[in-house]
Amino acid sequence: MPPIRVLFLCTGNSCRSQMADGLINLDFAGRIEAFSAGTAPHGLNPLAVEVMQELGVDISGFSSDHLSQYEGQCFDYVISLCGHADETCAARLCGAERIHIGFDDPPKAQGTEDEVMAVYRRVRDEIRSQLGDFFLRELESLAIRRAQKVSR
């Protein structure tokens, strides 16, 4: 069975989409193939790299890609993680189901260094939990549908 292909989308492709890309590729290796892009990419966020490294996930080599790089490719899901990308994305990607699952924007966090890092960690953990739950349900549903086809 080929892996589910998913494209995570944010405006800047610097933080939330990069974290989702790294986490889903780690947690669902071989079952889901994740990518990330932005509607107006502006480079990888160093604090996102830092909080991912805390989990042993190295995203330092990831690139901040524009959505146009993926035009013509087929995805099972395109998931926007920020409201702006959800509102402005007009791209048509082959076979993709568009879904919005929004998260706070860590670069907008204010406060001390510890307070800001706590926001990055919270959002990272929410991404892992919410997207993980979503994909576990999707994989279970897919397995049931395939089993039903085989039994017919």
Catalytic residues: 10, 82, 89
Phi, psi of 129 (to 5 degrees): -70, -50
d(CA 55, CA 142): 29
Cβ-contact 120, 47 below 8 angstroms: yes
Q: Identify any residues that bridge with 99 across adjacent strands, giving them in sequence order.
A: 79
Query: Cα 96 to the chain's mean position, in Å?
Result: 14
* Among 149, 142, 14, 150, residue whose Cα is nearest residue 77: 142
d(CA 19, CA 34): 11
User: 3-state DSSP call for residue 33?
Assistant: strand
Count of residues making up the chain = 152
